[in-house]
Amino acid sequence: MDQSKIDALRAREIPTQTHLIDGKHLPASDGATMDVVSPIDGTLLTQVVKGTAQDMTAAIAAARMAFEDQRWAGQPPQARKKVLLRWAELIEDNALELAVLGVRDNGTEIAMALKAEPGSAAGTIRYYAEALDKVYGEIAPTSGDVLGLVHKEPVGVVGAIIPWNFPLMIGAWKIGPALAMGNSVVVKPPETASLSLIRMAELGLEAGLPAGVLNVVTGEGAVVGQAMGLSMDVDALVFTGSGGTGRRLLEYAAQSNLKRVYLELGGKSPNMVFADAPDLDEAAKVAAHGIFRNSGQVCVAGSRLLVEDTIHDDFVRAVVKAAEAMRVGDPLETTTQIGAINSEPQLRQNLSFVETAKNEGGQVETGGTQILTETGGYYMAPTVVTGVRPDATLAQKEVFGPVLGVTPFSSDDEAVRIANSTVYGLAGGVWTSNLSRAHRMIRQVRTGVMHVNTYGGADGTVPLGGVGQSGNGHDKSMHALDKYVDLKTAWIKL
């Protein structure tokens, strides 16, 4: 990466950002805006329009009209593919601009942001562009005088509510397959990280998406998100975020049109290290990166470290060493390994978890404090807490910050019991040289994703989804398409 190019993009002024509805940039119906504060230095970056329920209704109406007149769904698969492939190219062509814009907005370190945001988004859009003409219906094995056909049709209007940690990556996980299957989409970006998603949607229009097929409405979740959830004209709602918001969206669906709701919620993922791990030094480094990259603001972060008691003390020392070696700083500096916390409220919440952990008997081995206060930004030292009981707050509640809780175990059965002792089931990991143990852990630990002798990094060819209160449905892979199609049976007498 060229630091001078990054610095030039950092210096750009950002005008007030508007909604993107029916192919047009529009202000809020009441003219209101929201400040966008950069977590890098705590300064005002720009403003985005503060949408109203009326604005969301207008965007949904535009999406409905675009779906009903078939301006997108009615195009041949090859035509839709051409547009999506062009969109992926434009995202790649503008990757550095998109990454820097996002970092200024949400604080992710630039090296990670460039790969995980525009890099991942372009790859996802391209994947579903290539997949869309390979989705076939079915012929049922009926009796000789009847032909049974199963058609796959778009659901209609899809509402997508996107989180602030990786808005482009997670946004593409939802927008890509939805558009590939011929749906129209309305996106509600996160309040604290809307800028890069707006720009990516603009590139979609430039690539040839018809007006109304992809709409973006900014604003508060309690207003525009609620309006989306309660709409009688949204056919499917996809969401990544907190369990509390997920519950409200289910309630809104019940109060309105019983729209299908797919949720990717929180996690408290266990990373289990056995004494026979093939490389304990590597395991310690990966465990540190698995929780501290992006300041722990990752849904699948390995936030619970379970360590076999015979190696506990030595392994903790290795993790602490790896954590303290990671450079926290300005996320737009290419040498930074850990960037900023997304917002001041999130930073305060992180620090409160550390205080609670200490009050419940945990010992802070490193970190636990705000740092770099002179910058005006929101930075926290990577934090390792030992002596965390399986029932402690730090072991049960998602922090969504750079805080690692460590718990010892003495047997395979105990490791499984601890791993399964939360309401979540999003991800997990196991480090062992014993192939039988690895397979037992994959089967017995209740998660949607299980890593063996690694942590993180799965690509778009495999699904991501959780069990328990980590949600339902899957992003990524061909399985994601299931959320965006309806099955229609044709029963034909011959």
Give per-residue pLDDT as tens, 424-472.
Answer: 999 999 999 999 999 999 999 999 999 999 999 889 999 999 999 999 9
CATH number, position 236: 3.40.605.10
CATH number, position 452: 3.40.309.10
* Residues 318, 256 share a domain: no
Q: How far is 451 from 465, CA to CA, in rounded Å?
A: 14
How many whole angstroms from its chain centre is CA 76?
A: 31
* Residues 154, 75 share a domain: yes
pLDDT of residue 280: 98
* Residues 481, 392 share a domain: no
pLDDT of residue 284: 98
The set of catalytic residues is 264
DSSP-based three-state secondary structure for 23? coil
pLDDT of residue 271: 98
- One digit per residue, pLDDT tens: the chain, 494 residues? 899 999 999 999 999 999 999 999 999 999 999 999 999 999 999 999 999 999 999 999 999 999 999 999 999 999 999 999 999 999 999 999 999 999 999 999 999 999 999 999 999 999 999 999 999 999 999 988 999 999 999 999 999 999 999 999 999 999 999 999 999 999 999 999 999 999 999 999 999 999 999 999 999 999 999 999 999 999 999 999 999 999 999 999 999 999 999 999 999 999 999 999 999 999 999 999 999 999 999 999 999 999 999 999 999 999 999 999 999 999 999 999 999 999 999 999 999 999 999 999 999 999 999 999 999 999 999 999 999 999 999 999 999 999 999 999 999 999 999 999 999 999 999 999 999 999 999 999 999 999 999 999 889 999 999 999 999 999 999 999 999 999 999 999 99
pLDDT of residue 20: 98
- Cβ atoms of 121 and 170 closer than 8 Å: no
pTM over 0.95: yes
* Residues 281, 397 share a domain: yes
pLDDT of residue 143: 86
Q: 């007498």: which residue's tokens?
A: 493
389-413 in b/e burial notation, b at 16+ Cβ within 10 A?
ebebbbbbbbbbbbbbbbbbbeebe
Q: Domain tally for the chain?
A: 2
Angle at 220 between CA 394 and CA 54, to 5 degrees: 150
User: Letter for the amino acid at 470?
Assistant: S
Containing domain of residue 480, as a range?
A: 3-265+471-491
Is 464 within the bounds of a domain?
no
Q: How far is 26 from 101, CA to CA, in rounded Å?
A: 21
* Residues 379, 309 share a domain: yes
- How many angstroms separate the Cα of 226 from the Cα of each of 57, 255, 265, 336, 404? 11, 11, 17, 37, 33
* Residues 274, 242 share a domain: no
